[in-house]
Structure 1
């Protein structure tokens, strides 16, 4: 028997499980539905079987991009704020300060896209979180990260991308 039919790429299965758990965390699925869908995702033997599990969840998760734009001044988020799955910040000259240490983050991974012409950004991570800023395009700017680059299971992972012609980013863990 050929295995081509009965194979679901691990990546697709993981993605389906992540979407289902996310929908549950967001309150869009109840416990029974969570269990039913996880069971289907974990027992699927073909990619097509994963489709109905996440069909109504995928769009909502992907489209959640929160955009913040500023010319100058300070874009600041601290304390108990809701962190979206994807955050995009455009700032011409301003500074950005994102403190994730006490924020509500319902996602295992978040993407932050920064477009800072001349500004600087400071991103403060919760203890144990990791961050990867390899996707940032630098001009004369720089990225300083004091956080682990590899993600740990069960911990928040922040992926930072964007453009910094002259800007700079500092990534660090919260001080205790």
Structure 2
């Protein structure tokens, strides 16, 4: 038996499911779905096993707007975004107690400029950016420890401009460029 690509819809991961949940919630917030429709779609998304299942749950919703602002939040525990993921124009990261890890080295930038707003209570943030990224920290305020950032030597500065702002209570923010 020969496997032909497309015979099976690939399995989905947590990032795919989280993105689909956000799209359904945004459609409800925008008045596109009723409360009952949102509940039904969320059930479809949470029980989906394949990309095809997700596509069916999101079928009539408008396409996602990559320029939209996104918020990642947690009361406690870790917040982590690594691997291939879409970076919105404005990203808000809120955590009361916990560490944040954002790896932008393989992320998809749909905008040349990205604003990341950190609101962290305790715990710090580690942010990895592409080698050629331009990083600005002017709007970042730390209470306990200073931010650690050193631009790389020989960077062309032709990558995305990443502005990091916000407030960090008890923790430090460490920003590193990719080595390659």
TM tier, smaller: 0.5 to 0.7
1:105 maps to which residue? 109
Unaligned runs of 5+ in 1: 1-59
d(CA) in 1 for partners of 2:118, 2:104:
15
- The TM-score with structure 1 as length reference comes to 0.60
Unaligned runs of 5+ in 2: 1-63
Once the two structures are superposed, residues 67-91 of structure 1 have per-residue CA deviations (whole angstroms, 9 ceiling, x without a partner) of 1110111111111100001000110
Q: CA deviation at 1:95?
A: 0.6
d(CA) in 2 for partners of 1:76, 1:124:
12
1:145 maps to which residue? 149
d(CA) in 1 for partners of 2:66, 2:133:
22
d(CA) in 2 for partners of 1:116, 1:142:
14
Higher helix proportion: 1
d(CA) in 1 for partners of 2:85, 2:67:
19
Q: CA deviation at 1:63?
A: 6.9
d(CA) in 1 for partners of 2:151, 2:81:
19
d(CA) in 1 for partners of 2:66, 2:178:
28
**3-state SS in 1 of match to 2:76:** coil
Tell me, yes or no, if the aligned pair for 1:129 and 1:147 is still in contact at 8 Å: no
Once the two structures are superposed, residues 122-176 of structure 1 have per-residue CA deviations (whole angstroms, 9 ceiling, x without a partner) of 110011112111211221132001236xx96642110000011212100111133
Q: How many residues align?
A: 115
State which of 71, 74, 79 in structure 1 corresponds to 2:78: 74
Matched, 1:116 2:120: yes
Tell me, yes or no, if the aligned pair for 1:108 and 1:154 is still in contact at 8 Å: no
Tell me, yes or no, if the aligned pair for 2:133 and 2:158 is still in contact at 8 Å: no
Matched, 1:94 2:98: yes
Tell me, yes or no, if the aligned pair for 1:122 and 1:170 is still in contact at 8 Å: yes
